Amino acid sequence: MAHSNTPTLSHTRGDDSAHQHTHPLVGHLVPIWLFMAVGGTLLMLTVITVAVRYIDVGEFNIVIALGVAAIKATLVALFFMHLRWDRPFNLLVFLASIVFVILMMSFCMMDTAQYRSQQFVGNAPDVESTLQSNAPGAPVARFKPYTP
C-alpha cells in the first residue's frame, strides 16, 4: 500500500517526546558517547605518537610508532567502521587483506635481505648524468675537514 520510503516511528515510549528515537530498519545504532570516546582516544594516541618521536629509544622507535598506529587502526576498524557489531565475515575479509599484505611484505623483505650483497652501488644512469652536469661530486659530501 505505501509506496514511499518514509518510515514510521517504530518505538514511542508513551508521549514523552524526549524519549522518542527512531530505530533503524537494519543494522545497529552506536551511541554517540562511544564515538566521542573512541575519537578522543585516537587524538590522544596521535599526540603520544608525535611526542615519542622526540624520545630516542633507538631501534624501538619504529616499533612503537607502528604499534600505536596499529592500535589506532584497530579502534577505527572496530568502532567507526562498525566491525564490532557487524557480521564476522566482513571482519574476515578485512583481516584476510591484511594477512596477504603481510605475506607480500615478508617475501619481499626476505628477498631484499638475501640479495643485499649483490645490490648495485651508486646512482641510476639518469640521476648520474644529472649529477655530473648540475652538481659534480654531489650528493656525497665533498668538503674536507679543517686541519690547522
Partner 1 sequence: MTTLPNTQGAPVDDHHAHDADGAHAHDAHGEHAKYKFLQHHFETPAHQFDSAKLGMWLFLATEVLFFGGLFVAYAVLRARFPEVFTYSSHYLNTLMGGVNTCVLILSSITMALAVRFAQTNKKNAMLICLVLTFMGAVGFMVIKYFEYSHKIHENLVWGKSFYVPPESEEGQAERMILEKPLPSAPAALLVVNPATDAVPTLVTTPVVEASAIKAASSAPKGLATARQEAKAEHLPVAEHDLALAHPTLHLADPKMPANSHMFFAIYYCMTGLHGIHVLAGMVMLGWLIWRGARGDFNSNYFTPVDVGGLYWHIVDLIWIFLFPLFYLIH
Q: Which of residues 26-85 bind partner 1 (CB under 8 A)?
A: 26-27, 29-30, 32, 35-36, 39, 42-43, 46, 49-50, 52-53, 56, 61-62, 65-66, 68-69, 72-73, 76-77, 79-82
Comparing CB distances to partner 1, the nearer of 4 and 14 is 4
Residues 82, 75: Cα–Cα separation, whole Å: 10
Comparing CB distances to partner 1, the nearer of 4 and 15 is 4
Q: Does 141 bind partner 1 (CB under 8 A)?
A: yes
Residues 42, 78: Cα–Cα separation, whole Å: 13
* Type of residue at 95: L
Are 61 and 53 in contact, with CB atoms under 8 Å apart?
yes
Comparing CB distances to partner 1, the nearer of 13 and 81 is 81
How many residues lie near partner 1 (CB under 8 A)? 84
Are 74 and 45 in contact, with CB atoms under 8 Å apart?
no
Q: b vs e for 63-79, b when ≥16 Cβ sit within 10 Å of the residue's Cβ?
A: eeeeebeeebeebebeb
Are 27 and 14 in contact, with CB atoms under 8 Å apart?
no
Q: Does 19 bind partner 1 (CB under 8 A)?
A: no
Q: Among candidates 35, 42, 22, which has minimal Cα distance to 82?
A: 35
Q: Which residue of 13, 19, 23, 84 would you call a contact of partner 1, by CB under 8 A?
A: 23
Query: Residues 92 to 131: which contact partner 1 by CB under 8 A?
Result: 93-94, 96-98, 100-101, 104-105, 108-109, 112-113, 116, 119, 121-124, 126-127, 129-131
Comparing CB distances to partner 1, the nearer of 14 and 138 is 138
